Amino acid sequence: MVVIKVGCAQIKDDREAFAIVPVSPQEVRDLDFANDASKVLAEIAQKLEKESITQNERRVLTQLLSDLIYFVTMQESHNTGGDPLKVEMLKSKECRERQKLLREQNILKQVFQILKAPFSGNGPVIEMEELANQRHAPFRQICKLCYHILRLSQQDYRKNQEYIAKHFAFMQKQIGYDVLAEETITALLNNNRKLLEAHITKQEIETFVSLVRRNRKPRFLDYLYVLCVSNGSAIPATQDLICNCLLSDENQDILIETRMEKTQMEVEMEVENPDGTAASEPIVTIEEVEEVVLVWEDAEHHQKQKSIEELAKCVTEHRHMAGLDSLEDAGIIEYYRHQLDLFSHMCLERQYLAINKLSPQLHIDLILRCMSDDVLPFDLRASFCRLMLHMHVDRDPQEIIKPVKYARLWSEIPTAISIEDYESNVSKDPEKEKVKPRFSQTIMFVEDYLTKVVEEKWSFSDMKQNKLTFEVVNLAKQLIYFGFYSFSDLLRLTKTLLSILDYVPEKHITPVAMATATGEDQDKSMISEVISPKKSEEEVDTVVMDTKLKIIEILKFILDVRLDYRITCLLSIFKHEFDENNSIKDTDNGLDLEAISTHAEGIFDGSAETQDLDLDGQGGKMFLRVLLNLVMHNYPTLVSGALQLLFRHFSQRQEVLQAFKQVQLLLTSSDVENYKQIKTDLDERQL
């Protein structure tokens, strides 16, 4: 067989008008299979529109749909009787031609016809509501296979996504009947902002919220979560819709309420006799303590409540018993964790409609208490950590600071400089200074946790704790970017971060497992759990690599702050050569450039005064060793970040000189007034 390609142009020779290209036997077989499958599906769809099909025809249809799943994923060799619904597409680029065949040979069209036929017409073969009946399990399985084919056919393939999106209204009608319609819609809309904005309206959100009410299962909260974001960026319109619907008074019963309540607790105290010996019996006292309590409605609409620690302990201690109470507690904790994740993404990128409604209940002290509670599971603590970032940290009045300042007021440059002087001269925003005390305990928790991670290197073997570590590092990054850390704090924190980078995982990351390690990686991993529950071990291992990548980003920022400090030092050295009135000395010799050069070299000499600038307290040896080790990793984005830091490490003097050339000194009063006015105008514009 050959494929004839005809080309058209204004001027062509006869021999250039068409080309005969040989086709591989495999491509011929693929085309024949797709063509035959389309014909069989069309015949069965026509029968289903008029009457029920025979048991044998139903069996043939089920087998053909299963074969199509293995066909589109190029896994025919695995078609040995396993569950086709668990088959996932591993390499979508290699499957592109087969995905294309499904559309071009009208297989997708016939799949939709099969999904519609039994439930349409004047006398439908079956009603959607009847699918839950065990008697109709074969039809339910056929629908699941159809939706699984649709989901696989659109994976990473825009043309199929656009084709399937035309049937969005129909698919929405089949949501909630356990036929994988909601999973398919979620996969279709995932990271597809154009489709999300085109198809998600108030009606769709209400449909998904009704699913949460009907099922009370975490995955239905995740469907809402996926609708909030696209490629890690918030979709404000969808966030608004979800906030208005989910947080309305009539839907409060499907959410778990969080409270901080005071309770009385018996405490035993050891007492001593007058002779110094211990008393035979301890004294029991009653103390009032605060604890976090979860309140929810059960299936019978009875209100229940338990402390979050009690729920967590029940899950941990009775997991092997599988009793009814422990199973219910485990379900509540899991549902609550997914609810927190949904809240985080409803607040993403400063969505104040959600922040203002949720923050009074989930205030900073409550979230911090749960973040730091060792009794709670690591993944739940990670969710609280993410919520702290999006609900309380990333909001007004916080703004990302610029670490290097190139416009300087000559009058504000000191004649002598130290790290303490540098910090005291940094301009402070009164509004930000009011907020800082609220996060002092959060900053303390971040540093204590990271120090503990360094002391217990074995903690990296726990995948759930790795997720918590990632969230803590990400929280630290944003706190640093928002200016909550002084320069001395950053230098102290750097040693801890370098120790974390110094950890080498036992399992190396394979190229297959490489993801684009960006700020939204954790969001993508969660979305992939919603769309495809199957997750490889290699993908989970990337959390450690992504954590290191976040640390690389922090180190880049710290190097920028160090650069700003060194620029200030150079300016201070220059100013020292001027008289007390800040005017150039009226001498024939002018500036003593040799003295300036000698003093400037002292910034880099690693003396007792400047050794902290080496970041590791070892003259840069640890910093260099860690980066060289990272360069050897099989994780491109991490290697790239490490190489950038290495380059900056070996070109520190050149970096300072290049930056120094860009500095603009404002000397006259008019320059200063203009600068201050422009700065004020820009600050107001940002608000």
Listed range (60-69, 84-93, 267-276, 611-620) with the worst mean pLDDT: 267-276
Spatial distance between the Cα atoms of 169 and 173, rounded to a whole number of angstroms? 7
pLDDT at residue 208 in the model: 93
Mean pLDDT confidence for 478-494 = 95
Tens digits of per-residue pLDDT, 179-190?
A: 999 999 999 998
Per DSSP, the residues of 411-478 read: GG--SS--HHHHHHHS---HHHHHHGGGGHHHHHHHHHHHHHHHH-GGGGG-HHHHHHHHHHHHHHHH
pLDDT at residue 525 in the model: 52
Nearest to 150 by CA among 89, 211, 81: 89
CATH superfamily of 2-189: IP3 receptor type 1 binding core, RIH domain (1.25.10.30)
Contact 508, 628 (CB under 8 A): no
pLDDT at residue 519 in the model: 46
When the pLDDT of each residue in the chain is averaged and rounded to a whole number, the result is 85
Q: Is the pLDDT of residue 487 over 70?
A: yes
- Percent pLDDT > 70 in the chain is 84
Tens digits of per-residue pLDDT, 407-423?
A: 888 888 888 888 888 88
Spatial distance between the Cα atoms of 461 and 400, rounded to a whole number of angstroms? 34
Q: Is the pLDDT of residue 333 over 80?
A: yes
Contact 550, 482 (CB under 8 A): no
pTM metric for this prediction = 0.86
pLDDT at residue 516 in the model: 41
pLDDT at residue 315 in the model: 75
Confidence bin at 7 (pLDDT 50/70/90)? low
Confidence bin at 503 (pLDDT 50/70/90)? confident
pLDDT at residue 328 in the model: 85
pLDDT at residue 148 in the model: 97
Tens digits of per-residue pLDDT, 455-467?
A: 987 778 888 899 9
Per DSSP, the residues of 621-642 read: HHHHHHHHHHHTSS-HHHHHHH
Tens digits of per-residue pLDDT, 548-606?
A: 999 999 999 999 999 999 999 999 888 887 654 445 444 445 666 777 777 778 788 66
Spatial distance between the Cα atoms of 517 and 470, rounded to a whole number of angstroms? 12
Q: Which residues pair with 272 in a beta bridge?
A: 278
Mean pLDDT confidence for 23-35 = 93
pLDDT at residue 92 in the model: 87
pLDDT at residue 680 in the model: 77
Confidence bin at 97 (pLDDT 50/70/90)? very high
Angle at the Cα of 65 (from 59 to 70), degrees rounded to 5? 125
Tens digits of per-residue pLDDT, 208-257?
A: 999 999 989 999 999 999 999 998 899 999 999 999 999 999 999 999 99
pLDDT at residue 98 in the model: 96
Domain ranges of the chain: 2-189, 396-585+604-687
